[in-house]
Amino acid sequence: MTDYQRTEPDIYEQAASWVEKLAAGELDSLSKRRFSHWLDADPQHRAVLIAMVETWNDPALNQLLARYPSRSLNRLNTKWPQIGFASAAAFSLVLLAGLYLGVAWRPATAPYELHTAKAESRQQQLTDGSVLDMAPDTQLTVNFTTSKRQVVQGLGAAYFAVEKDKQRPFEVRLGQASVVAVGTEFTIDQDPDLIDITVYEGAVQVQASAAGPNLLLKAGEQVRISNHQLSDVRKVNLQQLVDWRSGWIEIENESLAYLLHRLNRSGSTTVSAGPGLDQLRVAGRFELANISQTLQALQQTYDLQLERSAQGVRLVRSP
């Protein structure tokens, strides 16, 4: 069961949020993509939205909705699924009245987990409209309440496109570290040794530990957390930046362990480093899913050999 299919109240809240956005005026390009993705995700989304629009009965809203053609709306069956239309319309009216009066109706949901397997990526829309792109072998725990939006990230990487909500900042917890945003886009890549944070749009607040200083990280900037300490801020060219979403990794002067952590997320073969090789400095551009090609390049460039076993492949120094 996906996040946006968890409960009927969640779907009502999402639909009410979209109706509110549409009633406020034209959607921006990012919101258009999210709106289309949400509509196409589940037939019930379409039914709830249409019921709310019909309940509102605003010709201007109907005209605005027509500007966002979607195959979902074109093939919509307006018959209410599973529950009666009258009940749905009544519930919609309550929600819309709350929106009209400025009441923020946000039901709390129990924390739930999202995860991807090795070699599996996933896009996930949360109940507030935020969208996550999850790298392979990534673990997240989502905990939204009436007063907060919190995601706890384990090992792995994720790209966060956060919906604006000034009343409920969006927080990602990473052990003692945290990243807090109101509405922005950023990526977090965490392995056992370090955390890389890159901001693509807007700004986020970063702390390496609960007692540590706050750092405001802006679009086009990157910082690393290691041993509960913040590195210096690094400027990055977002147009040229290569990250896991492209299927490639481009590094310069990173440890072999850093590269292998990321290769092992995307491949079915486990690759490890032999004695004394974890901190070998490596550089290059590597295709994450093409383990054999990467191993060949490492062998040739750094004079290494492969040892194969039932547990996987180990890189060792040539004799």
Reduced DSSP (H G I as helix, E B as strand, rest coil) percent helix, strand, coil of the chain, to 5: 30, 30, 35
Please tell me whether the overall predicted TM-score, pTM, comes out greater than 0.75 for this model: no
In the chain, the percentage of residues whose pLDDT exceeds 70 is 75
Nearest of 56, 73, 69, 68 to residue 26 by alpha carbon = 68
Q: Which contiguous run of DSSP H or E holds residue 99?
A: helix 85-100
Using DSSP bridges, classify how beta strands 185-190 and 177-181 pair: parallel, antiparallel or unpaired.
Answer: unpaired
> What would the pLDDT profile of 235-266 be if each residue is shown by its tens digit?
999 989 998 999 999 999 999 999 999 999 99
- Is residue 57 pLDDT above 90, yes or no? no
Distance in angstroms (rounded) separating the CA atoms of residues 187 and 198: 5
* Cα-to-chain-centroid distance, residue 156: 11
CA 272 from chain center: how many Å?
28
Q: How confident is the model at residue 79 (pLDDT cuts 50, 70, 90)?
A: very low
Reported as a single tens digit per residue, the pLDDT across 8-23 is 556 767 777 777 777 6
Residue 238 CA to residue 27 CA, distance in Å, equals: 24
pLDDT, tens only, 288-299 = 989 999 999 999
Q: What is the pLDDT of residues 39-50, one digit of tens each?
A: 778 777 777 776
Do 137 and 195 have their domain in common? Answer: yes
Q: How many domains does the chain have?
A: 3
Do 309 and 221 sit in the same domain of this protein? Answer: no
Are residues 129 and 95 located together in one domain of the fold? no
Asked whether residue 165 is assigned to any structural domain, the reply reads: yes
For residues 152 and 217, state if they share a domain: yes
Domain span holding position 251 = 247-317
- Whole-angstrom distance, CA of residue 217 vs CA of residue 178: 12
Residue 116 has pLDDT above 90, yes or no: yes
